[in-house]
């Protein structure tokens, strides 16, 4: 069960500058990727490369649509 994901494209009008200047990582993960905040362990931006999202390890989300949408980005 993957818990680390590398997102390399921005959606919904977000830019790399938003992540560096305004620290919108959690906002992006919860609003755009629809990940419930209680499952987020960390969201780290590597400017211009990717966003690394790490989830807490629990089987509770393995049947959720948002989790299946993340699987192509598994690290």
- pTM summary value: 0.91
Q: Label each residue of the chain as H, E or C.
A: CCCEEEECCCCCCCCHHHHHHHCCHHHHHHHHCCCCHHHEEEEEEECCCEEEEEECCCHHHCCCHHHHHHHHHEC
Is residue 16 predicted with pLDDT exceeding 90?
A: no
Per-residue pLDDT tens over the stretch 35-75: 999 999 999 999 889 999 999 999 999 999 999 999 999 99
Give the per-residue pLDDT at 39. Answer: 97
Looking at residues 17-38, what average pLDDT do you find? 93
């Amino acid at each position: 069960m993957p818990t680390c994901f590398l997102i390399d494209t921005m959606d919904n009008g977000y830019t790399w500058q938003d992540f560096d200047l305004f620290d919108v990582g959690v906002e992006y993960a919860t609003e755009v990727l629809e990940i419930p905040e209680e499952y987020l362990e960390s969201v780290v931006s590597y400017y211009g490369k990717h966003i690394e999202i790490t989830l807490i390890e629990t089987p509770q989300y393995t049947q959720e649509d948002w989790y299946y949408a993340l699987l192509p980005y598994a690290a």
